[in-house]
Amino acid sequence: VVEAAPGSARAVAIGAPFAVPAGARSRVIAAGEQARLEVAIDPADHPDHPALAAAIAASPLLALAADPATADVRLVARAGAWHVGDALHPVCTLAAHQLDRARAVLEHYLAYARPIRMAAQIAGAGGELGDGLALRVLLVPREVRALTEGATRSVSDVRGLLPEARSPGSGVYTLGAGETICFEVHNQTCVPLVVTLVNAAASGKVAVLAEHAISPGKRDLFWFRNQIFAPFAVTPPAGEAAGTDRVIAFGRAADQGSLGFLAVDHGFADVVRGHGAAPVVDPGPVRGDGGAAWTASQAVLHVQAD
């Protein structure tokens, strides 16, 4: 592959010439050097550093960051444990006797962060759709839930009763455990978009929440399991006082295949216990061509237990 973009890539043949079947497509079968997750170990002089560095070097998905300041994820020693986290939040803690699980946890982080990195690539590519989507988190108060239970009502009847969740701005929201929400996506472009909502949860699981076609200039609400007026209930991971979910809306100008490959059905706690390993081979590509048009918008949900 000599040139790559979020929706397409250009490659040259290596070795003997061969005929390419009409309509043939390709897929990534192994991560390249630039796709590796860069990991920083802090402090660099910790006694466990050599063992951790060796585990990272042995992985085809990881690399020790040349510059710790630009690392994708950090391993930080604190209070007798190692904490795994990124610029936004800690995702996992490893006790001293669990260091043999560090590589598996970091490889799982790469699978967990795939939609986050994909959204960043779309934004960095500066595609023709630009900031084509606006994603907002709306509260679904108890009185609205009572109003819609067993009643025949349209979304327009209650849209004005759904306030935006508490936010300091920049797509960040603060929620209490047990609050109920839905998501509003605004197609700000002049073309129809297929919009897929993906949640990279604090637990390390990734779920494709729903997919809608949204007309130019229109807004649509995303509900739990696509059931109108069924809200999402937010909660931190089991046993945690707080957690951070990242919900991303991906929009594309044409249906280029399912984004179901982004889903991850096990979390960091499962990996620490030895269950669920991140695939070395990508389970599938996003289909597209050189004219593929993408846009993405992200909402960060900080969820605090009572």
Q: What per-residue confidence (pLDDT) applies to 21?
A: 80
Name residues whose C-beta falls within 8 Å of residue 83's C-beta, 6 or more positions apart in sequence. 75, 76, 77, 90, 92, 93, 94
- Looking at residue 285, its pLDDT comes to 39
At 257-280, the pLDDT tens digits run 788 889 999 999 999 998 765 554
Please report how many Cα atoms fall inside a 13 Å half-sphere around the Cα of residue 230, on the Cβ side: 7
Q: Are the beta carbons of 282 and 28 closer than 8 angstroms?
A: yes
Q: What angle do CA 172, 174, 178 make, to 5 degrees?
A: 135
Mean pLDDT of the chain: 87
Q: How many Cβ atoms are within 10 Å of 69's Cβ, its own excluded?
A: 6
Confidence band for 256, pLDDT divided at 50, 70 and 90: low
Q: Extract the tokens encoding 224.
A: 């739990």
The per-residue pLDDT for range 34-88, each reduced to its tens digit, is 778 999 999 999 999 999 999 999 998 999 999 999 999 999 999 999 999 998 8
pTM for this structure? 0.84
Q: Are strands 294-304 and 172-176 parallel, antiparallel or unpaired?
A: parallel
Q: How many CB atoms are located within 10 Å of the residue 134 CB? A: 15
Predicted confidence at residue 290, as pLDDT, reads 39
DSSP character string of 104-138: HHHHHHHHHTHHHHHHHHHHHHT-TT-S-EEEEEE
DSSP strand pairing (3-5 vs 294-304): unpaired
